[in-house]
């Protein structure tokens, strides 16, 4: 019996997906709830799961093709269907087009980059030993072969030339390669929204710096007890989430958005946290962050980060934020100007912590300092409100006990 594998609903306002990588080939055995393909939407990657045990039959949509929600993309043969147990044939929907080149030993699957490297070096596929999965010939195999060939050539005495007879050096073989890769729907969406943000709002950035001494001391003093009670470490992000929520209560315009000719102010705080995922930067949202404790924030962020690396975040987890926090410091960024994610009105940028000399009570001391950057939509937020908000965040981080006392 054949079961149609259809594109499932992938989130509000998403009507189509792009077929990503087929994880199973035609004729391959598939277990119930086992992923057979990745579906790429403009917000997240979704696994297409097999509803029953069986064998993947005909694939109807190739990698890179667009499919609407509800479209049939493949057939699953169940109940001892013909073809079960047969060797899996090469799927016609491989993530990259592969070329079979004949050699003396039979067919060699040549990857696109390797094909270009062969052409540059004037070689045939059969001249190079393939080491890739399934006998695939990789670009690295070709470069390794050409390098070893150079090493095997005997050294020759260079000919004596006059300055007028010196020829231009030959172009290096096997270098300056290019590879064109189609942008994923997520990357295309990120690109589009960043450009829209720059074009559609009056965006400004204000800066400040914060002394991290008290937060670092508090973490050190209570880290063991926190781990013992909650089973996870307390990081800096939870302090900033709590500080941002408190500052937003005093500066509600940064938690607002423009709708038509109106400004909508919210009395809830859905804080987006920028995380580097497997396919790019994603911003999952902490819903009702004002109700979350430190452990709740840390647990949620840890879960988001883990699932972001395997592209398992759900589309609904990436929408609806009211304010965003981005921590470029984890990558070593000293200072940056983050871009607001429309229709939000603000984004806070955290940066790396550095030991720097600062003046305190007339004396120069060394303190762990972090630059903060607040980008905001000047159509909604005045400069005074932006500076006041950032100063409030700074004060809460430098005196974290205030967050517990709500003062």
Cα–Cα nearest to 210, from 243, 251, 253? 243
Catalytic residue ranges: 378, 382
- CB atoms closer than 10 angstroms to residue 147: 12
Cis omega (within 30 of 0) for bond into 343? yes
Joined together, the tokens standing for residue 122 give: 């004037």
Cα–Cα nearest to 274, from 306, 307, 305? 305
**Torsion angle of alpha carbons 39, 41, 43, 46, nearest 10°?**
-20
Whole-number Cα distances in Å, 207 to 45, 254, 328, 378, 388: 35, 16, 15, 15, 11
Distance of CA 234 to the CA centre of its chain: 23
Whole-number Cα distances in Å, 46 to 23, 33, 59, 193: 12, 13, 18, 21
Whole-number Cα distances in Å, 307 to 78, 222, 257: 31, 28, 29
Joined together, the tokens standing for residue 311 give: 């592209």
């Amino acid at each position: 019996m054949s079961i149609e594998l259809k594109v499932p609903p992938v989130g509000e306002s998403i009507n189509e997906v792009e077929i990503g990588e087929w994880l199973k080939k035609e004729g391959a055995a598939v277990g119930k709830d086992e992923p057979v393909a990745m579906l790429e939407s403009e917000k997240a990657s979704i696994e297409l799961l097999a509803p029953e045990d069986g064998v993947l039959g005909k694939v109807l949509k190739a990698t890179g093709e667009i499919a609407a929600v509800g479209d049939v993309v493949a057939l699953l043969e169940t109940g001892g269907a013909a073809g079960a147990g047969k060797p899996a044939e090469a799927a016609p929907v491989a993530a990259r087009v592969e070329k079979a080149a004949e050699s003396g030993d039979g067919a060699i699957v040549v990857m696109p980059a390797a094909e270009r490297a062969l052409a540059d070096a004037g070689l045939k596929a059969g001249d190079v030993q393939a080491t890739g999965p399934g006998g695939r010939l990789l670009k690295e195999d070709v470069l390794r072969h050409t390098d070893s060939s150079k090493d095997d050539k005997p050294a020759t005495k260079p000919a004596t030339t006059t300055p007028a007879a010196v020829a231009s050096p030959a172009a290096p073989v096997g270098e300056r390669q290019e590879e064109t890769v189609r942008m994923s729907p997520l990357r295309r969406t990120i690109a589009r929204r960043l450009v829209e943000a720059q074009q559609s709002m009056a965006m400004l950035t204000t800066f400040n710096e914060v002394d991290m001494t008290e937060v670092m001391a508090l973490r050190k003093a209570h880290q063991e007890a926190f781990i013992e009670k909650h089973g996870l470490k307390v990081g800096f992000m939870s302090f900033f989430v709590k500080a941002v929520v408190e500052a937003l209560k005093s500066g509600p315009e940064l938690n607002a958005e423009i709708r038509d000719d109106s400004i909508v102010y919210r009395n809830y705080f859905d804080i987006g946290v920028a995380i580097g995922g497997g396919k790019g930067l994603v911003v999952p949202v902490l819903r009702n962050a004002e109700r979350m404790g430190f452990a709740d924030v840390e647990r949620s962020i840890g879960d988001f980060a883990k699932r972001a690396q395997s592209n398992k975040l759900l589309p609904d987890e990436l929408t609806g934020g009211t304010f965003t926090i981005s921590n470029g410091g984890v990558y070593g960024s000293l200072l940056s100007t983050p871009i607001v994610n429309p229709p939000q009105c603000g984004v806070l940028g955290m940066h790396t912590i550095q030991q720097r000399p600062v003046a305190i009570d007339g004396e120069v001391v060394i303190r762990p300092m972090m630059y903060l950057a607040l980008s905001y939509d000047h159509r909604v937020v005045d400069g005074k409100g932006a500076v006041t908000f950032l100063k409030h965040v700074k004060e809460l981080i430098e005196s974290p006990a205030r967050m517990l006392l709500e003062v």
